[in-house]
């Protein structure tokens, strides 16, 4: 018995010790989270060290990022714009630094909005200095707005314009025995082509070339306006010739073309910033830095009580609830309803940056906007970089639609995909058989393939959804369904062409949309807004607080010029596979634009890595 009691005491002691350790860790984490605050804002250079991409709405951070994991940073566009607008009148800010060494870009419209904010800082008489080892399309568009552009001596301005290759999976699906049963409407609805073709269709190429040409023209117009002396056209058309003329020195070729102002390494760049904003007291050779996170926390107010509600529809539109960065139909509809019925908003601005997704979720959001209008709340839509397919569906209730010439919109079309595995079973020597009590019993049969009756029913459903989409657009834009059908068919348009076609009302961004909403609601000069977003939970606040100190120091590592030029092939492949998986596992009927560029930072997840490894082994 003494032995048993001794063992029992030992176990109780271990248990008490573990509980004590757990409590110490728990309260330590809480203390660290609650006591973590951005560093005080001093004076000097506001440092925009952008180590990631620009988005309308960042996804919530996860515990893995606090515990040592990492992901590309996501910077909220409105926070950066507000910080720059505050900096232009803030005597503490002597200059602004754009360190774009690890900048992964954003949509062309978002880059343009941020570049406009940079120009306002310059107009206030404050220098803005940009630096990178490798400037690509988005990075250079932003840097062109700066008063000085620096390039590393080993760097390059590797601007190439829109274009590139997509992955097509029909050959792989054939090897696996998987059949992609596709139901679609629209000559240009190329979203499903990667599943049923091994190359791009002529119609899709026509659309993609027209869109890419318009996007390139918009990009060149933005850059030429910022740097009229730069020889942009010649450099784009014959970069190798420009480099040869500079004796093979890539950096000097960019300097000779007027694309950059100074060639210098990071140390020289920081010495220049020290001249502008003062030297750092605690860091020899450094400059007096104002950290971005600290400045945003100090100057940017997101929790207003104004009469204009702003709801953001960012990322893929999905059924049910979702956190920021993904447009959950129920989540957004509930926020709209809460703003209208409980918070007493008098006008609503809907910021859309989405390629679409679920038809059901898009309709859920549309109905919430119709309810707002029924309660005498005017609705104004502001389109970001992408507002296509389901992203246009949710815009149809608007009293007024703003977009930019670089906005990608349209893609008015519907498709459905159901995978079936009759070929896979045959390869494995597995049979599938059964009985049917009606023509549609057991359908759609994903083991033997959908029957003709099931195929007819599903295509009829897609046709009906497309007809409804045409009707919504026709009613919204005061056109006939026949007129809309001519510009629909799943075709993707740039904002300039969309304006000519009557799909949008005017060019403008958020400031114009807020002003229009105030006008429609009769608010006079009142411009106060409140952002209709779910509040941060205690868990989210704790993670955010713990991760705050890492924001300015963590993120993507700087790349050499050729790494920036080449991109991340593994991430690109993973992103493509994730899109295919999303289509195959998503809603049966979708209003989604896969031809559109992504509106969120791609992430390489464990399951994607596993799939890549599985494919490598299977194909070797």
Residues carrying an active site annotation: 189, 389
Whether the link from the prior residue into 444 is cis, omega within 30° of 0, is: yes
Cα–Cα distance measured from residue 334 to residue 323, given in angstroms and rounded to the nearest whole number: 13
- Who contacts 512 (Cβ-Cβ below 8 Å, separation ≥6)? 382, 402, 506
> What are phi and psi for residue 152, nearest 5 degrees?
-60, 140
Alpha carbon 587 to chain centroid distance? 21
**For residue 130, what are the β-bridge partners?**
98, 149
Distance CA 309, CA 531 (A): 6
Q: Tell me if 156 sits within 8 A of 251, measured CB to CB.
A: yes
Tokens coding 489: 């068919």
SS3 category, 607? helix
The count of other CB atoms within 10 Å of the CB of residue 295 is 25
Q: Scanning the structure block, which residue is given the tokens 């004076």?
A: 43
As given in the structure block, the two tokens for residue 29 are: 């984490």
Q: Which value, to the nearest 10 degrees, does the dihedral of the CA atoms of residues 340, 344, 348, 352 take?
A: -60
Distance (Å, whole) CA 88 – CA 103: 23
The number of beta carbons lying within 10 Å of the beta carbon of residue 172 is: 16
For residue 469, the tally of other CB atoms under 10 A from its CB is 27
d(CA 271, CA 279): 8
Q: In the chain, count of helices (H) and strands (E)?
A: 25, 22
């Amino acid at each position: 018995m003494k032995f048993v009691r001794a063992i029992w005491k030992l176990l109780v002691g271990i248990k008490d010790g573990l509980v004590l350790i757990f409590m110490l860790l728990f309260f330590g984490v809480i203390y660290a989270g609650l006591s973590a605050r951005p560093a005080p804002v001093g004076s000097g250079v506001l440092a925009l060290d952008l180590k990631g991409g620009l988005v309308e709405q960042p996804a919530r951070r996860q515990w893995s990022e606090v515990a040592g994991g990492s992901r590309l940073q996501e910077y909220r566009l409105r926070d950066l714009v507000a910080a720059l607008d505050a900096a232009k009148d803030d005597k503490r800010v002597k200059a602004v630094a754009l360190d774009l060494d690890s900048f992964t870009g954003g949509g062309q419209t978002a880059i343009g909005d941020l570049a406009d904010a940079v120009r306002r800082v310059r107009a206030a008489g404050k220098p803005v200095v940009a630096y990178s080892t490798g400037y690509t399309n988005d990075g250079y568009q932003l840097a062109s707005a700066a008063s000085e552009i620096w390039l590393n001596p080993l760097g390059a301005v590797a601007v190439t314009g829109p274009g590139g290759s997509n992955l097509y999976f029909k050959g792989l699906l054939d090897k696996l025995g998987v059949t992609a049963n596709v139901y679609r409407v629209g000559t240009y609805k190329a979203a499903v082509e990667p599943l049923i073709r091994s190359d791009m269709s002529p119609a899709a190429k026509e659309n993609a070339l027209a869109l890419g040409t318009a996007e390139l023209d918009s990009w060149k117009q933005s850059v030429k306006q910022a740097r009229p002396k730069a020889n942009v056209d010649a450099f784009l058309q014959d970069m190798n010739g420009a480099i040869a003329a500079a004796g093979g020195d890539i950096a000097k070729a960019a300097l000779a073309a007027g694309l950059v102002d100074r060639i210098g390494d990071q140390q020289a760049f920081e010495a220049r910033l020290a001249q502008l904003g003062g030297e750092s007291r605690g860091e020899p050779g450094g400059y007096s830095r104002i950290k971005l996170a600290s400045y945003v926390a100090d100057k940017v107010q997101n929790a207003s009580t104004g009469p204009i509600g702003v709801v953001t529809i960012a990322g893929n539109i999905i059924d049910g609830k979702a956190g920021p960065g993904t447009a959950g139909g129920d989540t957004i509809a509930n926020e709209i309803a809460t703003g209208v019925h409980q918070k007493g908003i008098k006008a609503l601005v809907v910021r859309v940056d989405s390629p679409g997704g679920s038809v059901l979720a898009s309709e859920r959001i549309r109905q919430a906007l119709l309810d707002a209008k029924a309660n005498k709340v005017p609705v104004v839509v502001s389109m970001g970089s992408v507002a296509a397919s389901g992203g246009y569906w949710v815009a149809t209730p608007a009293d007024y639609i703003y977009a930019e010439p670089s906005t990608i919109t349209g893609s008015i079309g519907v498709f459905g995909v159901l995978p079936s595995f009759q070929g896979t079973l045959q390869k494995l020597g597995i049979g599938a058989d059964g009985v049917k009590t009606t023509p549609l019993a057991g359908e759609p049969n994903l083991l033997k393939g959908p029957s003709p009756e099931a195929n007819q029913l599903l295509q009829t459903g897609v046709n009906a959804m497309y007809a409804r989409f045409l009707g919504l657009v026709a009613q919204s834009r005061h056109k006939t369904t026949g007129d809309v059908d001519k510009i629909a068919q799943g075709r993707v348009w740039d904002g300039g062409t969309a304006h000519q076609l009557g799909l949008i009302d005017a060019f403008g961004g958020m400031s114009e949309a807020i002003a229009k909403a105030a006008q429609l609601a009769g608010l006079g000069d009142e411009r106060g807004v409140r952002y209709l977003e779910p509040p941060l939970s205690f868990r989210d606040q704790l993670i955010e607080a713990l991760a705050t100190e890492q924001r300015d120091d963590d993120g993507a590592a700087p790349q050499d010029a050729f790494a920036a030029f080449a991109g991340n092939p593994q991430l690109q492949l993973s992103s493509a596979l994730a899109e295919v998986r999303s289509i195959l596992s998503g809603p049966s009927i979708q209003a989604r634009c896969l031809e559109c560029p992504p509106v969120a930072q791609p992430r390489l997840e464990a399951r994607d890595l596993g799939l890549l490894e599985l494919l490598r082994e299977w194909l070797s």
